[in-house]
Amino acid sequence: MKSLSLIFILGMFSGCYSSEPEKTGLEGKPLPSFTILLSDSLTSLNTKNIPSGNPIVFFYYGPHCPYSRAQMEEMIEYMSLMKKIRFYLITNVPYSEMMKFYRHFELNKFPNVTAGVDYKNFFGDYFKITGVPFTAIYNSDKKLDKAFAGKIYTKQIINEVFN
């Protein structure tokens, strides 16, 4: 009985780690235009103004989600290897909750990381996201390569971007 319980628990946790990309039907499509309220609470960024030339990763997270937090911790560990990737960390929670996450992870230390609130929930609706975390990887031409639902390993991001 103990081994059956252990298998069940391991299965539950492994289900939270996505290893295969989602089939969104949006692969190859350009980055859509939408607006994010940035961490300074004054500036808005429209994604059409994100320059091409570098890979782009959108990390859609929940500030209180343990899987979002674990993925963020791991991404920070590998950030020195991902300096050429532009990260956009977005959430649809109130600004104050986003800022707690921003301060906790000291995201201001990373010049390639931009954080903000998708206050219209465009991103979530566009990808039909049913849970967090969700990661969308765009190539240097701003076209969607892959999207992952659930926590993924940072090495998957690195492999997708640099291979």
Note whether 136 and 34 are within 8 A (CB): no
Measured CA angle at 48 (ends 42, 53), to 5 deg: 110
Domain ranges of the chain: 21-162
> For residue 118, what pLDDT is reported?
98
The CATH architecture assigned to 21-162 reads 3-Layer(aba) Sandwich (3.40)
> For residue 12, what pLDDT is reported?
39
Q: Residue 64 corresponds to which amino acid?
A: H
Low-confidence spans in the chain with pLDDT less than 70: 1-18
Q: pLDDT by residue (tens digit) across 5-49?
A: 333 333 434 344 457 999 999 999 999 999 999 999 999 999 999
> For residue 3, what pLDDT is reported?
42
pTM of the model: 0.88
How far apart CA 163 and CA 59 sit, in angstroms, is: 20
> For residue 163, what pLDDT is reported?
84
